[in-house]
């Protein structure tokens, strides 16, 4: 007691008073300010993130069994609209996904699909477009949930099977989505969850019919030729002529970057391909990017003219085995609807673990990998890999107007060994591209 009083005299503030003052900060900071402070705190120590996720899960689980209220209602004119509970439910789903409760979120996602099934409206009206925008955002949430599920299934030694308790809510979600799809199709309405349904079916290894309206018009794909249009800058990669600019699909890794329906995404893919931009770059952790690309390419009349580069990324301590890498390549091929991979780029997080040499050797020997590349390897490791006799054709690294490090040592080594540099972040994401747009507009 004496020691505590001495401490209080030294600091001038009691522990209880500190808590009250802290709560005053939390209660009075504007929401955006509180988010900014929280983000700053989380960058201070990795343990803070774990604590945030743990206490978030504890908070959510207190009301985990609460029933879901009506998510949709009709206004005075009989038009469907979302309720306030829709927004609250979607927020809860997203918090669950962020805190590691992806399987627990499936019950809520199933309820959204279930309650969406019986809505009928004119999709061309502006009011309906607002409603579809909300549903499309949930489509992105389901994709994010499936990405989280896949992450859980990927172990350090391979991909494990779903347990019974994990499989059942996935099957229930898929069943609700299929019922909703059938009812919307009967009403000649565009099903809003087509994109995520493919991801759910993929995890469950269930066959899924593709609606006719999602197939591309053969008149578009028939215009493709082996020789790219003259206005498209090209380069040669292992004997194949490719556009110098790839269509990157990193934005599909999170709905935070925006969402769109599968049909709209395919329409944009079609525009790119029709103008000669026939190469795509993606990764195993970019949401459903591989799935969308694979379905799009398979729907084209000349799929062999479209080039798909993806990545195999090792972010966690891993024991490299032939089975692990074989299963991963099998998964990439399945998701990309292909028997081979045009370019597989390998990322390894831990330079102090030399297993990356063995991993690359195993990948190089797999006949399903047409071309092998690297991702974010530094000059010393690129040199080491090449000296080990492993043939790689690319290394994808950051290179921008303000980060020109690859022009120092990396460029020389790659040029000597005919390794192409695939660069990202060239316009520093938004600052320079936004500036360019503002100048162009004025």
Q: Report percent pLDDT > 70 for the chain.
A: 89
Helices (H) and strands (E) in the chain, counts: 17, 13
CATH for 213-441 is: 3.20.20.100
- Give 280-323 pLDDT, tens digit per residue: 999 999 999 999 999 999 999 899 999 999 999 999 889 999 99
**Taking a C-beta distance cutoff of 8 angstroms, is the pair 283, 311 a contact?**
yes
Please give the mean pLDDT across all residues of the chain: 88
Share of the chain above pLDDT 90, in %: 68
Q: Which of the two residues, 373 and 128, has the higher pLDDT score? A: 373
For 224, the token pair is: 């493709």
149-189 pLDDT, tens digit each: 998 988 777 788 999 999 999 999 999 999 999 999 998 88
The residues spanned by each domain of the chain are 1-42, 89-209, 213-441
Q: Which pLDDT score, from 0 to 100, does residue 228 have?
A: 84
Fold match between 89-209 and 213-441? no
Global pTM value: 0.81
Beta bridge partners, 241, equal 236
More reliable by pLDDT, 115 or 438: 115
pLDDT higher than threshold 80 for residue 6: no
**pLDDT higher for 294 or 441?**
294
Region 202-221 average pLDDT:
66
What does the pLDDT look like over 348-373, one tens digit per residue?
999 999 999 999 999 999 999 999 99
| Residue 428: per-residue pLDDT | 64
Judged against a pLDDT cut of 70, whether residue 435 lies above it is answered with no
Strands (E), 303-407: 307-314, 341-348, 369-375, 394-398
Asked whether the CA dihedral 294, 300, 301, 302 is positive or negative, the reply is negative
CB-based burial, 10-43: b 16+ in 10 Å, e otherwise: eeeeeeeeeeeeeeeeeeeeeeeeeeeeeeeeee
pLDDT of res. 441: 47
Query: For residue 212, is pLDDT > 60?
Result: no
* Confidence band, pLDDT 50/70/90 cuts, at residue 400: confident
The pLDDT value recorded for residue 64 is 82
Eight-state DSSP code of residue 12: S
Enter the CATH code of domain 89-209: 1.25.40
Q: How far is CA 437 from CA 5, 246, 340, 399, 441, in A?
A: 62, 20, 39, 21, 6
DSSP state of 384: H
The whole-number pLDDT of residue 337 equals 94
Query: Which one has a higher pLDDT value, 426 or 282?
Result: 282
- Rounded CA-CA distance 386/377 in Å is 12
Strand 234-237 relative to strand 240-243, pairing:
antiparallel
Supply the pLDDT for residue 8.
Answer: 47
DSSP symbols for 118-132: T----TTSHHHHHHH
pLDDT of res. 18: 57
- What is the predicted pLDDT for the residue at 2? 47
Q: How far is CA 433 from CA 224, 423, 440, in A?
A: 29, 16, 11
Average pLDDT over residues 206-210: 81
pLDDT at 222: 43
What's the pLDDT score for residue 16?
54
Residue 243 and residue 233: Cα distance in Å, rounded?
6
pLDDT value at position 4?
47
Query: Closest Cα to residue 217, out of 276, 335, 277, 296?
Result: 296
Measured distance CA(297)–CA(65) in Å, rounded: 42
């Amino acid at each position: 007691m004496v020691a505590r009083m001495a401490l209080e005299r030294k600091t001038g503030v009691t522990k209880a008073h500190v808590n009250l003052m802290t709560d005053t900060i939390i209660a009075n900071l504007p929401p955006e300010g509180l988010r900014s402070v929280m983000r700053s705190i989380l960058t201070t120590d990795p343990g803070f993130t774990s604590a945030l996720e743990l206490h978030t899960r504890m908070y959510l689980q207190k009301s985990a069994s609460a029933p879901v209220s009506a998510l949709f209602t009709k206004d005075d004119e009989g038009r469907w609209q979302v309720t306030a509970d829709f927004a609250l439910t979607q927020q809860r789903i997203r918090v669950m996904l962020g805190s590691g409760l992806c399987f627990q979120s499936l019950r809520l996602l199933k309820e959204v699909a279930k309650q969406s099934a019986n809505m009928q409206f004119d999709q061309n009206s502006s009011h309906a477009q607002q409603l579809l925008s909300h549903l499309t955002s949930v489509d992105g949430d389901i994709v994010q949930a499936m990405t989280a599920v896949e992450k859980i299934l990927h172990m350090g030694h391979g991909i494990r099977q779903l347990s019974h308790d994990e499989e059942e809510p996935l099957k229930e979600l898929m069943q609700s989505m299929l019922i909703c799809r059938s009812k919307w199709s009967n009403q000649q309405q565009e099903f809003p969850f087509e994109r995520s349904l493919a991801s759910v079916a993929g995890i469950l290894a269930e066959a899924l019919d593709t609606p006719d309206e999602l197939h591309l018009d053969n008149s578009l794909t028939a215009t493709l030729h082996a020789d790219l249009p003259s206005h498209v800058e090209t380069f040669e990669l292992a004997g194949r002529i490719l556009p110098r600019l790839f269509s990157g699909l990193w934005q599909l890794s999170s709905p935070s970057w925006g969402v769109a329906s599968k049909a709209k995404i395919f329409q944009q893919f079609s525009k790119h391909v029709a103008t000669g931009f026939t190469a795509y770059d993606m990764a195993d952790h970019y949401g459903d990017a591989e799935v969308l690309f694979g379905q799009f390419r398979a729907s084209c009349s000349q799929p062999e003219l479209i080039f798909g580069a993806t990545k195999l990324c090792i972010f966690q301590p891993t024991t490299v085995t032939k089975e692990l890498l074989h299963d991963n390549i099998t998964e990439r091929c399945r998701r990309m609807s292909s028997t081979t991979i045009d370019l597989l780029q390998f990322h390894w997080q831990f330079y102090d673990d030399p297993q990356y040499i063995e991993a690359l050797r195993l990948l190089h020997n797999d006949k399903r990998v047409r071309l092998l590349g690297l991702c974010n390897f530094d000059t010393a490791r690129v040199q080491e890999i090449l000296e080990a006799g492993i043939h790689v054709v690319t290394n994808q690294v950051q290179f921008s107007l303000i980060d020109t490090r690859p022009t120092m040592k990396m460029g020389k080594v790659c040029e000597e060994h005919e390794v192409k540099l695939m660069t990202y972040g060239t316009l520093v994401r938004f600052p320079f591209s936004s500036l360019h747009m503002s100048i162009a507009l004025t």
